[in-house]
A and B are shown apart, each in its own frame.
Chain A
Amino acid sequence: MDWVWSHAGDLWSLVLTHVGLSVPPIVLGFVISVPLGYWASRSAAARAVLLTLGNVLYTIPSLAFILLVPVVLGFALLDAKNVLVALTVYAIAIMVRSAADAFASVSASVRESAVAQGFSPAQRFLRVELPLAGPVLLAGVRVVSVSTVSLATIGSLAGIDSLGNLFTDGFQRDFAVEIITGIVLVLALAAVFDVVLSLVGRLLLPWSRRTGRGRVRRSAPAAASVSEQVA
């Protein structure tokens, strides 16, 4: 514990670095996946291609991926962008599927009724489909958030600073306190992200809590489409 207090300043700055490394991929992953997921929910062909691609990308070992990015994109070997790109790709790989399920979960009768009322396609997307996909999208972002915060530690293996430094450093020095501190900080950070996301969800999706029923009904078709994909 003494070690922790004497290094509080360094630890705090590592936490901030880690935040800086995980937030952009979560945000970018979301922003890019929403239109892709929407497309996948409208066209069976797009769905097949995008989800397969997502699966393939996700199976690339993360360290190899981080080392591959500078080769492909021409960044410097120790550029944090390598990790940002790799994490964003993983985020998209997870999130596209959630987004596709989220949009597929919007009931056809509600969508049709929006058309019948005279919503333009853009209004229908922004005011009906996006908010109704919200609960499933939120569930997807929460998974992406936890996975990104934990995955970002890999950066340390490729020489990019993150909370993972505590693992590599603790390992080299055979110093358990440092490793445990790293694990606790990663878990705590993931928990904080999750709480923030769920608060944002409460704020943006008040109806999904107040009605209760909505959530259950919407998650059912999402689960169904996942199992259909597996089969």
Chain B
Amino acid sequence: MAIEFRHVSKTFPDGTTAVEDFSLSIPSHETTVLVGSSGCGKTTLLRMINRMVDPSSGSILIDGEDISGIPPVGLRRRIGYVMQNSGLLPHRTVADNVATVPMLTGVPKRKAREDALALLDRVGLDRGLAKRYPAQLSGGQQQRVGVARGLAVDPNILLMDEPFGAVDPIVRDELQQELLRLQGSLGKTVVFVTHDIDEAFLLGNQVVILQRGGRVAQVGSPKEILANPANDFVADFIGAKRGKRRLTAEAGASGDEVLLVDAAGYAAGVITAPGGRLELATAGSSPKSRSVSNKTDQAGDA
């Protein structure tokens, strides 16, 4: 389920050009993160994939098929969509919310309900919550239900628009880990939108840094972008310019620990270094071993 944008532009009826000549290949079974500041066209790009927004020019292909010929309602039913404020139906219970789309596509009620309960397990929610209404859940729980609902029809493509943007940092951390775990076993084609560069680097196999008007500033793996920011905009955006990304090692309190300090003198974390010696990971290590991040909490975990 690869997705391809070919010279896509979008000008809204009021004259706002949200996206101009955007081209991108989104590989299947991986997570691609679109990251950029507010108003740069992320949501517009995401919504073009399920035809909530149709491009003014250019085309979008899913597995080589131009989606402009696919009826939108049917297309949306086979693409999962998770949004920031969960968008759960307030008048339906948690279980019904998850079961809704399968039922629209003709899955019998009983089976849809059973599947919904299994999905709640899958996203780490207690089945006891199934009969509650969304307003009776915490923000983090609502987002988990949102993810379960997005997965309910077992879509090949999952679109996520700042799904963890409105929860507190600790819950966000949990949800991110949960998504990584899920994606590890599901291997969906995930397109994830965020304005948080740390989230982008954590979740993305491919990260797309966007400028206003959907202009691509850089595309690459987190490692590539961190190692070689394409231009000043990217360097600034990922914090390299302010020295946030360049960490210097200092001897820690105990001999076995190395303290990492950023350019501003802020202690970013420690690495345990047996015997005071840092072993460098050999090339080809997993991309998820980026344990040296600018975030204290993450570096502390490492």
Contact = CB atoms under 8 A, between A and B. Distances in A.
Interface in B82-101: 83-92, 100-101
Given A116-B50, A118-B74, A211 B81 contact: no
B149 A211 contact: no
A110 B90 contact: yes
B186 interface: no
B165 to A, nearest CB: 13
Contact of B91 (A118, A119, A207): A207
Given A118-B73, A207-B133, A112 B83 contact: yes
Interface residues of A, number: 24
Contact of B73 (A120, A205, A208): A120
A134 B86 CA distance: 21
B91 A113 contact: no
Given A117-B149, A118-B101, A211-B135, A112 B73 contact: no
A113 B52 CA distance: 10
Interface in B209-236: none
Given A115-B76, A117-B149, A118-B76, A214 B90 contact: yes
Contacts of A13: none
B136 interface: yes
Contacts of B90: 110, 132, 207, 211, 214
Contacts of B73: 118-120
B76 A205 contact: no
Contact of B87 (A110, A207, A213, A214): A110
Interface residues of B, number: 29
A205 B105 CA distance: 25
Nearest to A210: B133
B91 A117 contact: no
B52 A115 contact: yes
Interface in A96-120: 109-110, 112-120
A110 B75 CA distance: 19
B77 interface: yes
B289 to A, nearest CB: 35
Contacts of B100: 117
A131 B91 contact: yes
A116 B52 contact: yes
Given A109-B87, A131-B91, A207-B91, A117 B76 contact: yes
Contacts of B52: 112, 115-116
Contacts of B280: none
Contacts of B283: none
Contacts of B92: 207
A29 B85 CA distance: 35
A116 B83 contact: yes
B50 to A, nearest CB: 6
Contact of A116 (B87, B89, B91, B134): B87
Given A112-B52, A118-B76, A213 B135 contact: yes
Nearest to A111: B87
A210 B136 CA distance: 9
Contacts of A210: 133, 136
A114 B101 contact: no
Interface string A179-221: 0000000000000000000000000010110111110000000
B170 interface: no
B81 A117 contact: yes
Nearest to A124: B73
Nearest to A208: B91
Given A118-B76, A211-B134, 10 more contacts: A112-B52, A113-B88, A115-B76, A116-B52, A117-B81, A118-B104, A132-B91, A210-B136, A211-B90, A211-B136
Interface of B: 47, 50, 52, 73-77, 81, 83-92, 100-101, 104-105, 133-136, 149, 159
Interface of A: 109-110, 112-120, 123, 128, 131-132, 134, 205, 207-208, 210-214
**Closest 7 A-B residue pairs measured CB to CB?**
A113-B87, A118-B77, A118-B76, A116-B81, A211-B135, A207-B91, A213-B135
